[in-house]
Amino acid sequence: MQTTASNATLSRPLQGKTAIVTGSTSGIGLGIAHAFAAAGAHVMLNGFGKPEEIENIRSELSAKHGIEAVYSPADMTKPVEIRSMVETAAKQFGAVDVLVNNAGIQHVEAIETFPPEKWDQIIAINLSAAFHTIAAAIPGMKARGWGRIINIASAHGLVASPFKSAYVTAKHGIIGLTKTAALETAEHGITVNAICPGYVLTPLVQKQIPDTAKARGISEEEVIKTVILHAQPTHKFVGVDEIAALALFLCSKGANSMTGASLSIDGGWTAE
Residues carrying an active site annotation: 167
For ligand NAD, the closer of residues 46 and 259 by Cβ is: 46
Residue 165 near residue 111 (C-beta atoms within 8 A): yes
Distance CA 189, CA 171 (A): 25
CA–CA distance, 150 with 43 (Å, rounded to integer):
15
Binding of ligand NAD by 48 (CB under 6 A): yes
Binding map of ligand NAD across residues 65-94, x = CB under 6 A, - = no contact: ----------xxx-----------------
The answer to the question of residue 123 lying near ligand NAD (CB under 6 A) is: no
Sign of CA dihedral 170, 173, 174, 177: negative
Q: Rule CB under 6 A: say whether 267 interacts with ligand NAD.
A: no
CA distance 69 to 73: 13
Name which of 71 and 199 has its Cβ closer to ligand NAD.
199
User: Shortest Cβ distance from residue 122 to ligand NAD (Å)?
Assistant: 9
Stretch that binds ligand NAD, among 17-25, 186-194, 210-218, 254-262 (CB under 6 A): 17-25
CB of residue 95 to ligand NAD, shortest distance in Å = 22
Closer residue to ligand NAD in complex, CB, 36/199: 199
User: To the nearest whole angstrom, how small is the minimum distance from the Cβ of residue 83 to ligand NAD?
Assistant: 14
- Nearest Cα residue to 271 out of 214, 231, 218: 231
Q: Which of 14, 54, 69, 105 binds ligand NAD (CB under 6 A)?
A: 105
- Minimal distance in Å, beta carbon 5 to ligand NAD? 35
3-state secondary structure of 78: coil
Distance CA 73, CA 210 (A): 29
Q: Mark residues 185-214: x for contact with ligand NAD by CB under 6 A, - for none.
A: ------------x-xx-xxxx---------
- Residue 160 phi/psi, 5-degree rounding, is -105, 165
C-alpha to C-alpha distances, 116 to 121, 125, 155, 209, 261, nearest whole angstrom: 9, 14, 24, 21, 31
Q: Which helix (H) or strand (E) holds 79?
A: helix 79-93
Say how far apart CA 185 and CA 180 lie, in whole Å. Answer: 9
* Site mask for ligand NAD (CB under 6 A), range 137-166, x = bound: ---------------x-x------------
List interacting residues with ligand NAD (CB under 6 A). 23-29, 46-49, 75-77, 102-105, 125-126, 152, 154, 197, 199-200, 202-205
